[in-house]
Amino acid sequence: MNLLAVRDLTKRFGGVHALADVTFSVDEGEVLGIIGPNGAGKTTLLNCISGLSRLDGGDIRWDDTSISGLAPHRIARLGIGRTFQIVRPFPSMTGRENTAMGALFGQPQGRLQPHEAQKQADEVLELVGLCEKREVPVL
């Protein structure tokens, strides 16, 4: 079973087809990259999955349940998050504290305790090779 399944996704802006019948799936534990030139529809695709843009056709399923048409905050609570192209970290906090913020407010089951969020942040920083710099302030 797919964790995320996108089927025949279509999104139009007036007469422009930004996405036309896009279909793919992602299994649990799988990492998928989306690449393409400017204007290819990458951001539009992520906006549709995260609920920021309404679909004109197709379906998006998370853990075999349709999330098409759900509000962005409901999709985020299910565990689907996204980042934007211009990242703005909290400059008065360390890398670990910034990373923990995502864990604190991105959990589908509710909020974590701060020490649990810091533990998750450490795991993520280890995964991306930044554990040694976790206490460095973000400038």
88 falls within a domain? no
117: containing domain: 95-133
12 falls within a domain? yes
87 falls within a domain? no
32 falls within a domain? yes
Phi, psi of 132 (to 5 degrees): -65, -20
Instruction: List pLDDT tens digits, range 15-35.
Output: 999 999 999 999 998 988 999
Domain end residue (candidates: 50, 78, 106): 78
Going by C-alpha positions, the residue among 59, 68, 54, 56 that lies closest to residue 25 is 59
Q: Are 20 and 65 found together in one domain?
A: yes
pLDDT at 120: 92
User: Which whole number is the average pLDDT over 10-15?
Assistant: 95
85 falls within a domain? no
User: Which whole number is the average pLDDT over 88-117?
Assistant: 81
70 falls within a domain? yes
pLDDT at 89: 86
Q: In total, how many domains does the chain have?
A: 2
Q: Are 59 and 13 found together in one domain?
A: yes
Instruction: List pLDDT tens digits, range 62-94.
Output: 999 999 999 998 998 888 888 777 678 888 899
DSSP string spanning 27-85?
Answer: -TT--------TTSSHHHHHHHHHTSS--SEEEEEETTEE-TT--HHHHHHHT-----S
pLDDT at 114: 85
139 falls within a domain? no
Q: Are 62 and 30 found together in one domain?
A: yes
pLDDT at 61: 97
- Angle of CA points 97, 101, 104, to nearest 5°: 125
Ramachandran region, residue 36 (left: φ > 0; alpha: ψ -120 to 50; beta: rest):
left
Element at 22 (helix H, strand E): strand 16-26
Distance CA 47, CA 123 (A): 27
- The percent of residues in the chain predicted with pLDDT above 70, rounded, is 94
CATH of the domain at 46: 3.40.50.300
